[in-house]
Amino acid sequence: MAHPLFPVCVEWPAIVAGRDVADRWGITPAETRRSVHATHDLHVHRLVRPGDRLATSLTCTGVQRRRPGAYSTTRLDTVDADG
């Protein structure tokens, strides 16, 4: 079984791909490059096991103007082959 924080490894490709489409949410490429990870709320429903086939999707849930730039929130959902 994987460490409970291992899902961050599975989420990373979706996060990187989200940077490529952030302009859809009103976030400029420059803002994306300067982004800072502020919080992470992780809900683990079961541990990752060897052989699991996982897929992660990213949804932008909000963008707010804040000093010094934008505050974006995203939701990442990772499911196994059974959904």
Is residue 46 assigned to a domain?
yes
Is residue 26 assigned to a domain?
yes
Q: What is the pTM of this model?
A: 0.78
Residue 64 has what pLDDT? 87
Say if residues 2 and 47 touch (Cβ distance below 8 Å): yes
Residue 25 has what pLDDT? 83
Domain that holds residue 42: 7-79
Q: Of 78, 83, 61, 74, nearest to 4 (Cα)?
A: 78
Is residue 75 assigned to a domain?
yes
Is residue 59 assigned to a domain?
yes
Number of domains in the chain: 1
Is residue 41 assigned to a domain?
yes
At residue 72, φ and ψ (nearest 5 deg) are -110, 145
- In this structure, the dihedral spanned by the alpha carbons of residues 12, 17, 18 and 19, taken in order and rounded to 10 degrees, is 100
Dist. CA 80–CA 17, nearest whole Å: 20
Is residue 35 assigned to a domain?
yes
Is residue 2 assigned to a domain?
no
Q: Residue-wise pLDDT tens for the chain (83 aa)?
A: 777 777 788 888 998 888 888 888 888 888 888 888 888 888 888 888 889 999 999 999 988 888 877 788 899 999 999 98
